[in-house]
Chain A
Amino acid sequence: MKAKTALPVGYEAIQDKGWWLAHRFLILRRLSQAFFLLLFLLGPWFGIWWVEGTLAGSRTFGVLPLTDPFVLLQGMVAGHWPEMTALMGAVIVLAVYALIGGRVYCSWVCPINPVTDAAHWLHERLGLQKGWQPKRHTRLWLMGAVLVVSALTGVVAWEIVNPITMLHRGLVFGIGFAWALVLMVFLFDLFVSRRGWCGHLCPVGAFYGLLGTGSLLRVSASRRAACDDCMDCFAVCPENHVIAPALRGQGAATPLILSPDCTNCGRCIDVCSVDVFSFTHRFDSHIEAPKPPRPEPVANKPAAGPIPEG
């Protein structure tokens, strides 16, 4: 293990790039999550009805319909052919996420993400074991099972337990006991399985992942030559198996993170002190030549105090 891997995650990035650049996408992402939630809450809380409905289906400014395609798909296999409005809403959502990456929904919109991120943060703080780690593609299987159950029972099956829409609907319309489900997800991620829910089980994430298989917006490790093996990106990435092929690729191997599991959260861009990663499009596979090594940080920052613990 290199000495650098022993530094707290993101420490170097803060030292070298400053706090903002080392947290930029994290902050933007939290703002985005809050923004999308607030859009729905403006109505019930302040009487400003710009957006009505829930994540499952909504109407913006009285005209723009948006529908969750996975919910609609379950309804369709359950035997109902929806009206035009819902279909149009789903097509718009499909098109947007196919373009920017399906799992952008997971990291920039989904209200459960802050919950599982909080669970992960606490998990790390408490130094817990990673626990049960089902295979990543378990969620694909679950997605299939959800569709089969919808078809067999004629009910939009996942909506009976879906913590995402439960939490969202709960905040917008009234929560009932849905908070218990959310708490279950939190505890599951905290004690049973590190990053278990979003990373391994959630069939909604699986659906959006599939949807973003060919998405345009991608993270590229184009400056991978500069990588100093601090491992911080692996530590922060919620789907860290996606990084290695791009970062450790040799020669002309693409530096693009092409796995549909990548959530385009941009956290790897934040924590990399040597700016290996950047957002780009999927056809931009250029690899930057290594830069001359940067000067020793000690020379730049003689005043830097001892490294804080934890």
Chain B
Amino acid sequence: MSAANAPMSPQRRRFLTDTARMGAGCAVAGAGLAWLATDSRALPAEALRPPGALPEEDFLAACIRCGLCVRDCPYDTLSLAELGSDGPATGTPYFTAREVPCEMCDDIPCVAACPTGALDPDLRNIDDARMGTAVLVDQENCLNFLGLRCDVCYRVCPVIDEAITLEMSHNDRSGHHAVFAPTVHADHCTGCGVCEKSCVLPEAAIKVLPVRLARGSSAEHYRKGWEEQDNHGAPLVDGLIDLPDRLPGPGTDNLAAPGGFEPAFTVPGAGQ
């Protein structure tokens, strides 16, 4: 007498088919929604999040898209992404450096306005913000790299001389001038975008990129020998033989002149 042979009661059958139908419908709708949700994570490279924004994955779980950060930004830097016309997830706040950069307010009103913590309230010093990292992307068009003294990106930087410096080197083209290369130091760059905004070229040669694009990363097990030696006071490995440095170019003979060039000619009478 097995119950399996008994016909299923009509109510039970209806309940089961209804549930199956509803479940399947929801699975389809849910899959579509999940696809859109995953898609919404793709943040375009030129869209920067406000100061203190959590990493993108966390940000999309945290931001309720209320726009209070946008309202409280005194420079109208931020806007909410509009469906279909802006890249970031619909309704989330972002800015484009070349349009309106972040002026790095001391009191960080955008962070103070955020009710959810999508903008991290632990960010108290705006210099610690990392909205992105400036990269001098086009040395071939940067006026300073061409040997001129534009310097604009350097001068406007709110963290001048720390986030961006001018590194002097020889100008090979003219042979007797210097090149002052604008050089970003990622440890201090907040990604505010003022440099990109101010670049005088029609298309900025310095651009703020999301950190994930702007930076590489060092392998965890890499050690910089010179730093370790400074910390340690001595080479990490004892008994290391200091071999003479072999330098490139003609006239190098490490045996004749360990550690350097052998003079190409000798002044008659010298060394006698």
Q: A residues touching B (Cβ–Cβ < 8 Å)?
A: 43, 49, 52-54, 56-59, 65, 67-68, 71-72, 75, 78-83, 85-86, 89, 134-135, 137-138, 141-142, 144-146, 148-150, 152-161, 165-166, 169-170, 172-178, 180-181
Q: Which residue from A67, A80, A144 sits with its C-beta under 8 Å from B26?
A: A144
> A149 to chain B: which residues have CB within 8 Å?
30, 33-34, 37
User: Which residues of B35-78 have CB atoms within 8 Å of chain A's CB atoms?
Assistant: 36-38, 40-41, 54, 57-58, 60-68, 70-72
Docked Cα-Cα span, A71 to B116, in Å, equals 11
Given contacts A148-B30, A154-B61, contact A57 B66 (CB under 8 A): yes
Contact in complex: B80, A80 (CB < 8 Å): no
Contact in complex: A80, B65 (CB < 8 Å): no
Which of B83-91, B137-145, B172-180 interfaces with chain A?
B83-91
Chain B residue at minimum C-beta to C-beta distance from A159: B65
Contact in complex: B57, A154 (CB < 8 Å): yes
B252 in the interface, Cβ–Cβ < 8 Å? no
Contact in complex: A173, B70 (CB < 8 Å): yes
B183 in the interface, Cβ–Cβ < 8 Å? no
Query: How far, in Å, is B58 (CB) from chain A's closest CB?
Result: 6
Known: A67-B115, A138-B22, A146-B33. 18 other contacts (CB 8 A): A57-B66, A58-B66, A72-B116, A79-B58, A83-B115, A86-B116, A148-B30, A153-B38, A154-B58, A155-B41, A155-B60, A157-B34, A160-B36, A166-B91, A169-B91, A174-B80, A176-B82, A176-B83
Contact in complex: B68, A59 (CB < 8 Å): yes
Docked Cα-Cα span, A145 to B24, in Å, equals 11
Docked Cα-Cα span, A166 to B26, in Å, equals 22
B225 in the interface, Cβ–Cβ < 8 Å? no
Between-chain CB contacts (< 8 Å), 8 pairs: A75-B116, A135-B18, A145-B29, A150-B37, A154-B57, A155-B37, A156-B60, A175-B82
B251 in the interface, Cβ–Cβ < 8 Å? no
Contact in complex: A181, B83 (CB < 8 Å): yes
Query: How far, in Å, is B215 (CB) from chain A's closest CB?
Result: 24
Q: Which residue from B30, B64, B89 sits with its C-beta under 8 Å from A56?
A: B64
Contact in complex: A156, B63 (CB < 8 Å): yes
Docked Cα-Cα span, A264 to B46, in Å, equals 47
Contact in complex: B66, A142 (CB < 8 Å): no
Contact in complex: A89, B29 (CB < 8 Å): no
Contact in complex: A83, B116 (CB < 8 Å): yes
> A160 to chain B: which residues have CB within 8 Å?
33, 36-37, 40, 89-90
Query: How far, in Å, is A285 (CB) from chain B's closest CB?
Result: 31
> B113 to chain A: which residues have CB within 8 Å?
59
Query: How far, in Å, is A163 (CB) from chain B's closest CB?
Result: 10
Docked Cα-Cα span, A67 to B38, in Å, equals 25
Query: How far, in Å, is B16 (CB) from chain A's closest CB?
Result: 14
B121 in the interface, Cβ–Cβ < 8 Å? yes
> B60 to chain A: which residues have CB within 8 Å?
78, 154-156
Docked Cα-Cα span, A150 to B40, in Å, equals 12
Query: How far, in Å, is A64 (CB) from chain B's closest CB?
Result: 11
Query: How far, in Å, is A265 (CB) from chain B's closest CB?
Result: 27
B235 in the interface, Cβ–Cβ < 8 Å? no
Given contacts A53-B66, A174-B79, contact A155 B115 (CB under 8 A): no
Contact in complex: A161, B36 (CB < 8 Å): yes
Q: What are the 5 A-B residue pairs with the smallest beta carbon separation, nearest first?
A: A176-B82, A57-B66, A177-B84, A78-B61, A83-B117
Docked Cα-Cα span, A148 to B63, in Å, equals 18
> A56 to chain B: which residues have CB within 8 Å?
64-66, 91
Docked Cα-Cα span, A77 to B218, in Å, equals 34
Docked Cα-Cα span, A58 to B64, in Å, equals 10
> B33 to chain A: which residues have CB within 8 Å?
145-146, 149, 157-158, 160-161
Contact in complex: A152, B83 (CB < 8 Å): no
Given contacts A155-B41, A173-B80, contact A52 B68 (CB under 8 A): yes
B258 in the interface, Cβ–Cβ < 8 Å? no
Docked Cα-Cα span, A298 to B234, in Å, equals 112
Contact in complex: B90, A53 (CB < 8 Å): no
User: Which residues of B2-17 have CB atoms within 8 Å of chain A's CB atoms?
Assistant: none
